[in-house]
Amino acid sequence: MNLKRPVAVADTAGDMTTIRTTCPRCGEVDMGPESILLQVVRGGREGTYRFTCPTCMDDVEKRADRKIVALLVSAGVDVASRGSTLTEELFDQEPYVDPRPPLPDAPAFTIDDLIDFHFKLQDDALVAEFLAKQ
């Protein structure tokens, strides 16, 4: 009798996020979110983050633009704010401006229009004629 061994399942319950940053002395270093202190200025859009390098034990402070702040917060770094509370505006994007021109005043596209278009695409002569005009 030949029995297969059970496949070992990886236990990922204890895995933590690892954040990679750079120390001016050591280069790239990895640490957990609990090792970083993020301080944001009013509005929560930028600030600084600090950590003690796990290799050389130097204290390091770096600027954090809006994207860095959002990444650190999403990775679980605790936030200390100066002058206001951190709000959802941290993750707000710039107002969206649609670059397309407004839609023309025309009747809505119907299922009948779609079927008609489908059959026109099947007509090679009609497609060739259209492309010749371009």
What gap in Å lies between CA 31 and CA 17, rounded to an integer?
8
Q: Confirm whether 131 is domain-assigned.
A: no
Residue with tokens 């959802």: 88
Q: Confirm whether 110 is domain-assigned.
A: no
pLDDT of residue 122: 95
Q: Confirm whether 60 is domain-assigned.
A: yes
Q: Confirm whether 128 is domain-assigned.
A: no
| DSSP track, 8-48 | PPP--TT----EEEEETTTEEEEE-GGGEEEEE-TTSS-EE
| Domain that includes residue 87, residue range | 19-91
Q: How many domains does the chain have?
A: 1
Residue 93, SS3?
coil
What gap in Å lies between CA 104 and CA 45, rounded to an integer?
39
pLDDT of residue 87: 47
Distances (CA, A) of 44 to 34, 36, 38, 58: 19, 17, 11, 27
Low-confidence ranges of the chain (pLDDT < 70): 1-15, 42-44, 81-96
Q: Confirm whether 9 is domain-assigned.
A: no
Q: Confirm whether 62 is domain-assigned.
A: yes
Distances (CA, A) of 30 to 22, 25, 77, 89: 8, 14, 14, 28
- 50 in Cβ contact with 68 (< 8 Å): no
Q: Confirm whether 12 is domain-assigned.
A: no
Strand partners, 49: 38, 62
What gap in Å lies between CA 18 and CA 10, rounded to an integer?
18
H or E, element range at 118: helix 111-122
Q: Confirm whether 6 is domain-assigned.
A: no
